[in-house]
Chain A
C-alpha cells in the first residue's frame, strides 16, 4: 500500500483563496479525489479526476495535480466551506484505496 500526506490544519480569511495539498507516490499514477466532511455528517465528493466537480458542487472548488502532489483550491472561501477535507487515490497496487489523514479548514 501507499500513503497520502495532508497538512492537519489550514486557515483562510473569508473570501480569500486557499490551497489544500496531498502528497503521495501513488499520485504520480492516479488522480486524487477530494471529499468534504462537516461535523456529524457523511463525506461529500467535491473533486475527482483531472478536475471534475459533481453536480451541485460550487465552481469555487477546483483540483490540480503535479508530480506526487494533488491540490484542492477554494477560490473565494465561504463560511460554509469550513470542514475537514480528505484526499484519496488508488494505492500502488491499483486495487486498494487510500485516504490522506485529512485537513481541517478554518474560515476566519
Chain B
C-alpha cells in the first residue's frame, strides 16, 4: 500500500531554515509527480509546490517562491522541501502528497509534519 512519511518538522526561529523529507513506498515513486500542501492551525489547505516525476518541472505558490525549494531523489524514493527565511505565517502542518490522473489530483497524503516558526 502507498505510504508517505514526512519528517524534519519542529520549532525554528524566524529567519532560519528547515528541510522536510518525505519517504515514499508502495508505488513506483519515479513515475509520479509530487506536491507539498500545508495547513496552518485551524485553517484550510494551502498548496505549496509541485515537482514532476523527472524533476524537469517545478512550480511554487507565489507566497513561497524564492524561499522554498522542492526537490526529489528518485534513487532514494524521497521528496524534499527546503524552506528558507521562515516566517511566523509559515507555521503549519506540511503534507507530502502523491499526484495522479494528470498531476493535479492528489490521491495519497502523508500524515503531515508540524513546522512551528517562533522565537
- Tell me the smallest distance from the CB of B27 to a CB of chain A, in Å: 14
A102-B44 contact, Cβ under 8 Å, with A1-B62, A96-B59: yes
A-chain residues with CB within 8 Å of residue B106 when the two chains form the complex: 33, 35, 43, 45, 88, 97
Contact indicator per residue, chain B 40-71, by CB within 8 Å of chain A (1) or not (0)? 00001111001000000101011000000000
For chain A, the bracket of interface size reads: 20 to 34
Q: Is the CB of A42 within 8 A of B111?
A: yes
Query: Is B110 on the interface with A (CB-CB < 8 A)?
Result: yes
Interface size on B, residues (CB 8 A): 22
Query: Is A54 on the interface with B (CB-CB < 8 A)?
Result: yes
B-chain residues with CB within 8 Å of residue A97 when the two chains form the complex: 35, 47, 50, 104, 106
Q: Is the CB of B109 within 8 A of A99?
A: no
Q: Is the CB of B59 within 8 A of A95?
A: yes
A-B contact pairs, 17 of them (CB 8 A): A30-B104, A33-B104, A33-B105, A42-B109, A42-B112, A48-B101, A49-B101, A90-B104, A95-B50, A96-B50, A97-B47, A97-B50, A99-B37, A99-B45, A99-B46, A100-B44, A102-B45
Q: CB-nearest residue of chain B relative to A47?
A: B105
A101-B44 contact, Cβ under 8 Å, with A1-B62, A35-B106, A89-B104: yes
Q: Is the CB of A99 within 8 A of B47?
A: yes
Which A residues contact B (CB, under 8 angstroms)?
A: 1, 30, 33, 35, 37, 42-45, 48-49, 52, 54, 84, 86, 88-90, 95-102
Which B residues contact A (CB, under 8 angstroms)?
A: 35, 37, 44-47, 50, 57, 59, 61-62, 95, 101, 104-112
Q: Is the CB of A48 within 8 A of B105?
A: yes
Provide the bound-state CA to CA distance between A95 and B47, in Å. Answer: 12
- Tell me the smallest distance from the CB of A41 to a CB of chain B, in Å: 8
- Tell me the smallest distance from the CB of B55 to a CB of chain A, in Å: 15
Q: Which of B44, B46, B61 has the most CB of A within 10 A?
A: B44
- Tell me the smallest distance from the CB of A54 to a CB of chain B, in Å: 6
Q: Which of A52, A90, A99 has the most CB of B within 10 A?
A: A99
Q: CB-nearest residue of chain B relative to A41?
A: B111
Q: Is the CB of B105 within 8 A of A45?
A: yes
